[in-house]
Structure 1
Amino acid sequence: MASSCSFDVVSDFDYQEMVNTVDQVRREIKGRYDLKDTNTVLDLNPTEIVITTNSEFTLDAVTTILQMKAAKRQLSLKIFEYGKIESVSGSRVRQEITLRKGIEAELAKKISKQIRDAFKKIQVSIQGDALRVSGKSRDDLQEVIQFLKQEDCPVALQFENYR
């Protein structure tokens, strides 16, 4: 096989699934007796979720619900980066949860080095916030995917454009 095969390693999530997850959390908050009168607000935008509620105990319950609903919708919990809990007007608390997207440069270099050390016939190039992995054999690329799935990476990894 003379032609080269490749795939991209990315860290991304389905935004529509995140919208559905937040909607489910809002519905559960309205329906649960212990959370009904807490005036909890979830604001979602493409880069973060902001939770405002009346106590840290309620905030903990809401983040647990968020994690459960996200896991049921096949969203990795590694995309959530929790900010510190801030006090806002009165006894209310607020927390920003950043939604991670993309592979940072330092992490990309580390993953690239791990692949090159483990697989001598594979080439890895960093392209923005993704990695392009290429080689002559599709079997070698399958081994790289299995290797990356076994590694404990701080971000959720997906494999796209397998050619």
Structure 2
Amino acid sequence: MAKDCSFDVVSEVDMQEVDNAVNQATKEISQRFDFRGSKASVTLEGIEIKVAADDDYKLKNVVEILQAKVIKRGISLKNLDYGKVEAAFSGTARQIIKIKKGIDKENAKDVISSLKNSKIKVQAQLMDDQVRVSGKNKDDLQNAIAHLKQGDFKIALQFVNFRS
């Protein structure tokens, strides 16, 4: 009797790596010549990264530094949700960047419909903030993973709990 195999599709972020990226960005900003004497800062508070600078131009540079550090730490930029740039006191600018964790219903529907449209013989269902994909054949599951890796989704996907 054939038994079902399965894996979970998740969107997770290692918060320790985010903290390391923020610390590296802060260190680079403190050492850079063009930020000497400026009010540029990057802080991590919960699942939000708060970025502040003297003006929009410097804020954009600080965000680019942060993005470079985040990429080096192996975190996808798809997991960052950029808020609008706000004017703060005394002419400074700030921006809040939220870290997206888990797969929301809209993105889960995209993942599930992508698998259904691919005609791969697997079943997908939403479970809390992840998608469980199951099938009778391991090869079908590997094809499903390859299909999802090629897809362009609004979030970064990881594949965990492969059970055979």
- The two structures have a TM-score, normalised by structure 1, of 0.96
**SS of structure 2 residue aligned to 1:68:** helix
In the TM superposition, 1:3-42 aligns within 5 A as 3-42=3-42
In 2, Cα distance between the equivalents of 1:120 and 1:114? 10
Specify the code of the residue in structure 2 equivalent to 1:160.
V
**1:93 and 2:88 correspond:** no
Structure 1 counterpart of 2:112: 112
Please name the residue that 1:130 is paired with. 130
Cα displacement (A) at 1:129: 1.2
Alpha-carbon offset, residue 120 of structure 1 = 4.6
Query: How far apart are residue 128 of structure 1 and its match?
Result: 1.2
2:127 and 2:4 map into 1 onto residues whose CA distance is 18
**Could you tell me how far apart the structure 2 residues matched to 1:120 and 1:33 are?**
55
Which residue of 2 is the match for residue 68 of structure 1? 68
Task: Using the TM superposition, give the Cα deviation of residue 117 of structure 1 relative to its aligned residue in structure 2, in angstroms.
Answer: 2.3
How many angstroms does 1:41 deviate by?
A: 2.1
After TM superposition, the score normalised by the length of structure 2 is: 0.95
Match of 2:162 in 1: 162
- Residues 38-67 of structure 1: CA deviation (Å, up to 9, x unaligned): 122222123210111111111111111111
Aligned residue for 2:50, secondary structure, equals: strand
Contact 1:82/1:96 (<8 A) preserved: yes
For residues 109-147 of structure 1, give each alpha carbon's deviation from its aligned partner in whole angstroms, at most 9, with x where no partner exists: 121121022135211110011100000111111100110
Q: Secondary structure at the match of 1:101?
A: coil
Q: What amino acid maps onto 1:10 in structure 2?
A: V
State percent identity of aligned pairs.
42
Contact 1:52–1:93 (8 Å) recurs in 2: yes
Letter in 2 for 1:77: L
Contact 1:51/1:94 (CA < 8 Å) preserved in 2? Answer: yes
Please state whether the residue corresponding to 1:66 is helix, strand or coil: helix
| Alignment gaps of 5+ in structure 1 | none
Letter in 1 for 2:42: L
**How far did residue 68 of structure 1 move?**
0.8
